[in-house]
Amino acid sequence: MINHELRHDEGILVLHPEGPLEEADFLSIASQVDTYLAGHGKLRGVLIHAKSFPGWKDFAAMLAHLKFLNEHIQRIEKVAVVADGALANIMPNIANHFVHAQVRHFDFTREDAAWDWLEHNGKA
């Protein structure tokens, strides 16, 4: 399950995974994001705040996740991953080879630094 909030004023999608990701999560998120993108063209950023990656509930959830990424990643400027763990540390280096968005990792307790980076053009 993903708790999510699209902050229209900032153009930032906030994601808080709290259990295995479900297909319905991505359908709900896509509906909100698509409506926003129709009027704004792009998202300024995505903030993912999770202690660790919770995995997918089933294969349909994984496919919905991949479809969401495929349809939206080119319209996202920055992705801040606020998480702990080895995968969180290396993920931005891997992602930067495949996606247009800037991807940056922040320690789980540094959500404030992630917000600063997303909201400003400079380095945090």
**Among 2.60.40, 3.30.750, 3.40.50, 3.30.70, what is the CATH number of 2-118?**
3.30.750
Residue 65: closest CA among 55, 79, 76, 75:
55
Classify residue 122 as left (phi > 0), alpha (psi -120 to 50) or beta: beta
Q: Domain ranges in the chain?
A: 2-118
The confidence score (pLDDT) of residue 97 equals 47
pLDDT per residue rounded down to tens, the chain (124 residues): 999 999 999 999 999 999 999 999 999 999 999 999 999 999 999 999 988 788 899 999 999 988 998 899 889 999 998 987 655 555 555 555 456 678 888 988 899 999 999 998 644 4
